[in-house]
Amino acid sequence: MKNKKFGAALIFILGCGLAGAARAATGGQASMSAIVMFLAFIAGTMGITYWAAKRTRTTSDFYTAGGGLSGFQNGLAIAGDYLSAASFLGIAGMVYVSGFDGMIYAIGFLFGWPVVMFLIAERLRNLGRYNFADVTSFRLAQTPMRVLAASASLLIIALYLIAQMVGAGKLIVLLFGLDYNVAVVIVGSLMMIYVAFGGMTATTWVQIIKAVLMLLGATLMTVLVMAAFNYSPDALLAEATRVHPSGMELLAPGAQVSSNPLNALSLGIALAFGTAGLPHILMRFFTVSNAKEARKSVIYASSFIGYFYLLTFIIGFGAVALLVRHPEYYLTGADGQFDMLKSLIGGTNMVAVHLANAVGGNLLLGFLAAVTFATIVAVVAGLALAGAAAISHDLYANVIARGRATEAQQMRISRLSTIALGVMAILLGIVFENQNVAFMVGLAFAIAASANFPVLVLSISWRGCTTLGATIGGFLGLASATIWVVLSDTVWVDVFGFATPITPFPNPGILSIPLAFFSIWLFSTLDNSARAREETLAFDALTVRSQTGIGATTAVAH
């Protein structure tokens, strides 16, 4: 308990130190409202962490918050996970640059939730305990399934962390004038300490609070934007098309599709099926008490997320129409001129933050910036938990220790894994500083849809799926998606510095997802081993439990 108290106090001290350093770095020019609200959120978060630490005694508490949340609570928490830097800063920035086409990510993100609800939500809760690897290994061999799940999950988490760290780093730079690298180090350090002491209970309640505040903040911004145009959508869009370099093309759909239709199709497939393969999202379905609550979680989450994306659309166009009236948000030349797409301070990922200042002044800016930062911390905490579960629960407890690890040993490995993931997040945030955060999440979705989704769906819905087929198919999906991304302009040109990419477009889903499904089918069909016959017979027991919940884990009473 002393260690837990020390951890909570240490995070609070770090938060205070950040504000003090920021004030010193900026000569006291940072927004006082932003600093006050930032510290208030840090203090509140630490209070939740301290409370959660006293309730976190077992691995079930640490990974699933005891499994006793309601569908409404979990739906809000899922929305809090989704309404992150990528959802808010990235998509608003894409609408600011591309107009209507910038919503392609939001549509794809939202479309994935019916897939989750109808295909996996209830079965996932009935079959698993801590993460989706428990489900895929229910009737298939433990070692290959968990190694596959951990490998794919850690790569997905790495890509997702890039988006969150870039968003957090640039936000702190904008607010406090700190060096970007220093800002990323601070966020990573807070994440490591926060996860080690708070567990899933703290993460869940912080995400619930953040979801409510983000929805309220986005709603207020939308009302203020519309008020500037007398609540006339026509007036808003007319002004946006007048000032944007694209003119009326800003409202025309299809620019991304027509320029590279295969890339657009590949992106759409990945976004549609990627949600059902994201480890930190799938992990949330084990925090509810039963399958009914899992299904309700999806319904609530879809409603909150859909509403938020509608607001993001208005916020993006509002930024186009209003920010050009404020040259102070741009890096201007000697003649006072600026490029609205290239000269925005902090880059296009910061359009929503600048818009908050334009329509609501320092008070709204401080509120929105503090909530956005706090949301990023909560999201990276969820990612760290999923990564820690992959390492400690899948690799250590069930592969290395073969089920003989004690809870104390698993908790120790989880905390060490959290530190390693924090260091990795810091390094990735520095390397990928100039990447669009929404695009990096798109890459994570592609790998989730290529490696995790095919194995998860076929293992619970197709009797013929075997360990051999799932292992080969899953790793082929993972490898093909990863190699494709590495050879694309996103990595091959932008990171490695080569002149031209090897692959024609960056999104691999159109190749890697069908390849994974086909490979699972092919190698499962060709598998005539005794193990394959046992796995086929075990499908009946899986079906009964997945449909009825008989034998499923129950909530832990505190």
DSSP 338: -
**What single-letter amino acid sits at 112?**
G
Q: Is the Cα dihedral 55, 60, 65, 70 positive or negative?
A: negative
Tell me, what's the pLDDT at 8? 47
Q: Is the Cα dihedral 283, 286, 292, 297 positive or negative?
A: negative
Which has the closest alpha carbon to 470: 398, 528, 532, 512? 532
Tell me, what's the pLDDT at 556? 58
Residues 318, 358 contacting (CB under 8 angstroms): no
Query: CB-based contacts of 234: which residues, under 8 Å, 6+ apart?
Result: none
Which has the closest alpha carbon to 382: 74, 40, 7, 10? 74
CA distance 286 to 29: 45
CA distance 474 to 480: 10
361-365 long-range Cβ contacts below 8 angstroms, 24+ apart: 362/31, 362/32, 362/33, 362/34, 363/33, 364/217, 364/220, 364/221, 364/224, 365/31, 365/33, 365/34
pTM listed for this prediction: 0.87
Tell me, what's the pLDDT at 148? 95
Residues 81, 259 contacting (CB under 8 angstroms): no
Tell me, what's the pLDDT at 482? 87
Query: CB-based contacts of 499: which residues, under 8 Å, 6+ apart?
Result: 493
Q: Hey, which bits of 227-330 come out as E strands?
A: none
CA distance 492 to 488: 6
Residues 169, 184 contacting (CB under 8 angstroms): yes
Which bin fits 508, alpha (ψ -120 to 50), beta or left (φ > 0)? alpha
Q: Is 29 exposed, middle or buried (0-12, 13-18, 19+ CB in 10 A)?
A: exposed
Q: Which homologous superfamily does the CATH classification assign to the domain defined by 6-449?
A: Sodium/glucose cotransporter (1.20.1730.10)
Which has the closest alpha carbon to 242: 324, 314, 160, 175? 324
Taking residue 128's Cβ as centre, other Cβ atoms within 10 Å add up to 22
Structure tokens at 44: 């509140």
CA distance 89 to 449: 24
Average pLDDT of adjacent 10-residue blocks, the chain of 558 residues: 48 47 42 76 81 83 86 92 74 89 80 86 89 92 94 90 80 75 84 80 85 91 95 94 91 76 87 90 91 92 93 94 90 81 82 90 83 77 89 92 86 87 88 68 85 96 96 96 87 82 91 97 96 95 90 63
Q: Is 339 helix (H, G, I), strand (E, B) or coil?
A: coil
User: For the chain, what are the domain ranges?
Assistant: 6-449
For residues 231, 233, 235, 239, the Cα torsion angle rounded to the nearest 10 degrees is 120
Q: Is 386 exposed, middle or buried (0-12, 13-18, 19+ CB in 10 A)?
A: buried
Which has the closest alpha carbon to 77: 293, 244, 314, 354? 293
Residues 74, 297 contacting (CB under 8 angstroms): yes
Tell me, what's the pLDDT at 3? 53
